[in-house]
Amino acid sequence: MSELRDRVICIVGASSGIGRATAVECARAGMHVAVAARRLDRLESLAQEVESRGGSALPVACDVQSDEDVAALFERCMERFGRLDAVIANAGYGHEGSVIELSDEALRSIFEVNFFGTVRVAREAVRVFRRQNRGHLLITSSCLSRFTLPYFAAYSATKAAQTQVGRSLRLELAGEGIEVSVIHPITTTTEFFDAAADASGEARRGVPAHAPRLFVQPPERVARAIVRCLRRPRAEVWTSHITRLVAGAMVAFPRFHDFCMRREVALRAARLSADALEATPEVAAENAPS
């Protein structure tokens, strides 16, 4: 089991949610933390919280869609700390809606951030790790990399791609002293669903009301699981054993997946119908029984 005190970690996508919670948890473990995202103001407040817990912090504005930004991030990490023990590729966002109706631009955009952004971070991380002959790359994927929800096909596809890259890199880099782990959170109480609603033009905010409470977790739970993985690296981290078993069953038995997800289709149709009626109350009045 690895001691984390005075180790250095870079978390990309740290301005909120899982990334932010992980930065705080790493600071509690005694790590020095570089935090990166597009929203520098949030990173600066996070850096203050990290330093209040005894660690050093480096906030860096970074857009994972930019090769230059990602390269500059790693240069600044090495200039500040002189070493880099772990990197978490956590930047990403969701989109709700049928892939048939999604524009090419929107589809390319989500892959550019979630998938190609992860690859950019991984490439730069591995360059550093190879010079050091050690390092740990962690990729935040999702339980939806194993199965998908209706209307989340684009997001699930990016997560499946991340997972396959991570699993392949783990084998490719095993002989070089470099660990690779893939994280599979379930529904998490973060800004994810608000951002997905914004990207999709939906009015609904927050975690869907119909999401079973058993399958909803706070980001701090994911963060603690990540820190355990930093101490004892493993191929995959699942924050819900039940979801992992269900995912395996859905892959093995596609009809079981269909059975489970038909309810999601019906619920979405009912919600959209209710939203439409709420937006046009005069239509509801006209159609009301006399």
Quick check: 184 pLDDT over 50?
Answer: yes
Identify the pLDDT of residue 136: 98
Report CA Rg, the chain: 20
My answer on whether 257 and 219 are in the same domain is no
My answer on whether 259 and 180 are in the same domain is no
pLDDT of 126-168, one tens digit each? 999 999 999 999 999 999 999 988 899 999 999 999 999 999 9
Catalytic residue among 81, 129, 147, 155: 155
**Domain that includes residue 273, residue range:** 253-290
Residue 247 lies in a domain: no
Q: Which residue has the higher pLDDT, 271 or 48?
A: 48
Quick check: 253 pLDDT over 50?
Answer: yes
My answer on whether 38 and 149 are in the same domain is yes
Residue 1 lies in a domain: no
Distance of alpha carbon 172 from alpha carbon 163, whole angstroms: 14
Percent over 90 (pLDDT), the chain: 71
Phi-psi region of 137 (alpha: psi -120 to 50; beta: other; left: phi over 0): beta
Quick check: 172 pLDDT over 80?
Answer: yes
Q: How far is CA 269 from each of CA 77, 197, 262, 273, rounded to the nearest angstrom? A: 48, 16, 11, 6
Identify the pLDDT of residue 54: 82
pLDDT of 187-243, one tens digit each? 887 555 455 445 555 545 454 554 555 568 899 999 999 999 999 999 999 999 999
Identify the pLDDT of residue 271: 66
My answer on whether 228 and 257 are in the same domain is no
Distance of alpha carbon 276 from alpha carbon 59, whole angstroms: 43
Residue 151 lies in a domain: yes
Residue 246 lies in a domain: no
Identify the pLDDT of residue 289: 43
**Residue 286's pLDDT band (cuts 50, 70, 90):** very low
Residue 140 lies in a domain: yes
Identify the pLDDT of residue 189: 74
Identify the pLDDT of residue 239: 92
My answer on whether 236 and 273 are in the same domain is no
**Residue 273's pLDDT band (cuts 50, 70, 90):** low
Quick check: 180 pLDDT over 50?
Answer: yes
Residue 68 lies in a domain: yes
My answer on whether 79 and 169 are in the same domain is yes
Q: Which residue has the higher pLDDT, 245 or 277?
A: 245
Q: Cα–Cα–Cα angle for 162, 158, 236, nearest 5°?
A: 35
pLDDT of 202-215, one tens digit each? 545 454 554 555 56
pLDDT of 19-78, one tens digit each? 999 999 999 999 999 999 999 999 999 999 999 988 899 999 999 999 999 999 999 999
Identify the pLDDT of residue 190: 54
Task: Report the number of distinct structural domains present in the chain.
Answer: 2
Residue 46 lies in a domain: yes
Respond yes or no: is residue 155 known to be catalytic.
Answer: yes
